[in-house]
Structure 1
Amino acid sequence: MAMRKPPSRPTIAEIAKQSGVSAGAVSYALNGRPGVSDETRKRILEVAREVGWVPSTAARALRGGGTATLGLVITREPDVLGIEPFFMSFVAGIEKVISARGYALLLQVTPDPERELQTYREWWSARRVDGIFVTDLAIDDQRLPIINEIGLPVVVVGDPAFSDGLPAVGSDDAAAANAAMERLAELGHKRVAHIAGPERFVHTHVRSDAMARAGERLGIQVVAEVNTDYSVAAGTAACHQLLDGANPPTAMVFDNDLTAIGAVRAATGRGVEVPGQLSVLAWDDSPLCELTVPALSALSRDVSAYGADAATMLLNVVNGSAEVKSVRSSVARLVDRGTLGPAPR
């Protein structure tokens, strides 16, 4: 059986032939350069669309025109990332913005921060991306000065106060933590635990500090903080650990929905009623929160809009906008679905 020959890519010469103009005129039109009339440019672009012509990113990069590609490296264990709702929604928001502008997203998952930095160096030296998103901002983040040194256009996804002067899109986690503690105070809770993400992350510290300050103001004791990897298993283990302690909390606040789901399963599995004996509140609402029994109360934010804001900012950075200001995006609101209740007597 004869091998099928793959279809050839449309060329400038073919577009020129169908448009009845020279190859040079097609080049001017497709690259937005002067040298052809508006009517001719319109005809050439129409023919290019009909034949499905797209620019070669490699050739475009060699001409200094960029690659029309943005990069995102996520440093996570693949098993955890595979069921993490946050990044799925975040990437969806990015795609919504960049695809409309003719850009693509290059996504890579790495096991450790050093490999993440190496990826940035490789991408930039090979001209594979025009700019990058940096997520999971850490305290004294060593990536930021290196990215600055490389000269790679970047938007930091995290608190602008910790972005080392780089443009950033951040969520007001302190305000959300205050809202959570105020609601728990209204319900009469005096002992609250915080089941957080990795200790190195900026948002872990911001949330923890805000909860502690709110607790002092409201008369609530934060009896424990447990750092996790955001997995269901980690949430299950944290719940068992806290309930087995000498001074168990009456409410638990989780930094993501997966750990909260694990905790609800652990609590109900050992006969602890949620919310009758234990209140549970998740951060980063997702459809998973509505599938649990009972449905999870959550600090809900529009993660897709968060990604869209980051994408809009990075496109502005890449395209040399005169002034790019860091912004706070995606303020969370408390959605009470059924896992918050009065403190047990």
Structure 2
Amino acid sequence: MSEDGKTKSVKSVDGAARPQRVSLKDIADELGISQTAVSFAINDRPGVSAETKRKVKETAARMGWSPVYAAQALGSSKTMTVGFAPSRAEDGIQNDSFMMQFMAGIHQSLSRHGYGLLFRPCTSDKEAIAVYRDWARRKRVDGVILVDLYADDPRPQLLTELGLPSVLAGGPDPSNLIPSLSIDDSATMRTVLEHLSLLGHRRIAYLSGDASLDYSRSRVAALKAFDKRRNFDRIWVEDTGFDPGRGVELTQRLLTESQPPTAFIYETDTMAAASLRALSSIMLTSDMLSWDSGIRRFPYDLPAIVSFEDSAICESAFPSITAVHRDASLYGTKVANLLLKVLAGEPVAGNRKILTPKLIVRESTRMILPTPETV
């Protein structure tokens, strides 16, 4: 360390000056205290006074000291890494705008606290379970964020047995083994159905992603409860496996029934947009579209369409798609913050519902027939 307290420079093999990393010994020499005292102060360990801790940290900041990750991890038995291994179809993640924003929120929160995110997408629950076992065996991560809880899900029990601290985005966990933060899907479905009901829709189809997932089951239960109170003419619930192509097929099949749905609720924005495009193409190429005869089917005869995910796709489609807006990035941040509290040993609430979403009403559920003056 130079006399003015700046970082020393040393000669490298090529003769060029290179800055030398400031060490704990350099800080100790600067303050005239032991290196052990500096280490205790830096790591907030007992054995040194609050005043010493303050002086050490101020001096470390002034001198440009930064922790060596490998040594810090070895000394604290921490990896400073959080694991995230969602199980989806091979292309399910990149086509899921909600998941991408959710991950961005997780990363934003973790990075502020010096943690990294180990993202390991899996194509099956069996693969995900193998990944968790491997992480625990190699002490690869400090904790895990769990998503997409399903009926009789073995993962909360497994993570508990493996000793991997974890939190659940969704839920709640029926076994009450891990804390969770969930979006109020029941209330959201009721908001969607109230909107469609006020528009006069009494035949409504819900095309879910995966009927075994906890949030899908919550939405289906809310749909059936609403139907019981309002006595719709008919409701449909179909499982698509998050496949937009399957959503299109089901939409087209349902519309061939003698009394087809007049409104469709889709699990994802891509499924809603794909179905809208398919229906629009059929109507635009059919001989039922005749401007000369005054019959103007498209887009006014389209069924009402609602997406449970909002994105630029919904906003830019024509007609624009009514969608449930959830701040996925904020949700990811809150879930990550919950895990950080668990890792710090702080008390956390078992299960909480947060972020009741907002319904953004667009053209797909409020198309108005044009007057002669606007034609």
Q: TM-score, normalised by structure 2?
A: 0.81
The CA deviation at 1:293 is 1.6
Q: Does 1:261 align with 2:286?
A: no
Structure 1 unaligned runs (5+)?
A: none
One of 77, 82, 88 as aligned partner of 2:94: 82
Shift in CA distance, 164/8, structure 1 to aligned 2, threshold 3 Å: farther
State the 1:181 CA deviation: 1.2
In the other structure, the counterpart of 2:171 is 159
What is the CA–CA distance in structure 1 between the aligned matches of 2:59 and 2:180, rounded to whole Å? 40
Alignment of 1:4-83 (within 5 A): 11-13=23-25, 15-16=27-28, 21-36=33-48, 38=50, 40-46=52-58, 48-49=60-61, 51=64, 53-56=66-69, 58-83=70-95
Which structure is larger by alpha-carbon Rg, 1 or 2? 2
User: What corresponds to 2:115 in structure 1?
Assistant: 103
Q: What is the CA-CA distance between 1:42 and the residue it aligns to?
A: 4.0
Task: Specify the alignment match of 1:333 in structure 2.
Answer: 358
Q: Please, which of 199, 210, 220 is the counterpart of residue 198 of structure 1? A: 210
Q: Percent identity?
A: 31
CA contact (8 A) 2:148 2:170 kept: yes
Q: CA deviation at 1:81?
A: 1.1
Structure 2 match to 1:287: 312
Q: What's the CA shift for 1:104?
A: 2.0
User: Structure 2: how far apart are the matches of 1:52 and 1:339?
Assistant: 57
1-structure distance, mates of 2:164, 2:209? 28
Relative to 1, partners in 2 of residues 1:273 and 1:335: Cα closer, same or farther, differing over 3 Å? same
SS in 2 for 1:92: helix
Structure 2 match to 1:302:
327
- Whether contact under 8 Å (2:207, 2:266) holds in the other structure is yes
Tell me the secondary structure at the aligned position of residue 346 of structure 2. Answer: coil
CA drift of 1:201 comes to: 0.8
Q: Does 1:241 align with 2:266?
A: no
Q: Which runs of 5+ in 2 are unaligned?
A: 1-13, 284-296, 370-375
Q: What SS does the aligned partner of 1:270 have?
A: helix
Partner secondary structure for residue 85 of structure 2: strand
1:262, CA displacement in angstroms?
Answer: 0.9
Contact map agreement 1:234 1:262 (CA 8 A) in 2? no
1:276 corresponds to: 301
Contact 1:309-1:329 at 8 Å conserved across structures:
no
C-alpha distance after superposition, 1:43-71 (max 9, x if no partner): 54345445462342x54444445222222
Compared CA separation, residues 342 and 287, structure 1 to 2 (3 A) = closer
Give the TM-score normalised by structure 1: 0.88
Residue 16 of structure 1: how far off its partner (Å): 4.6
Match of 1:137 in 2: 149
Alpha-carbon distance between aligned partners in 1 of 2:327 and 2:184, rounded to the nearest angstrom? 13
CA distance in 1, matches of 2:170, 2:339: 14
- Bigger mean CA deviation after superposition, 130-139 or 159-168: 159-168
Q: Is the 8 A contact 1:188 1:343 kept in 2?
A: no
Deviations 1:156-212 (A, max 9, x none): 111216354421111111111111111111111111111101122111111112112
Partner SS, residue 29 of structure 1 = helix
2:365 partner amino acid: L
Contact 1:139 1:162 in 2 (8 A): no
Please say if residues 338 and 348 of structure 2, whose CA atoms lie closer than 8 Å, have aligned partners that are also in contact: no
Summarize deviations over 1:268-301 as a string: whole Å, max 9, x none.
1111745533100000222322121222101222
Instruction: Point out the more displaced range, 153-162 or 182-191.
Output: 153-162
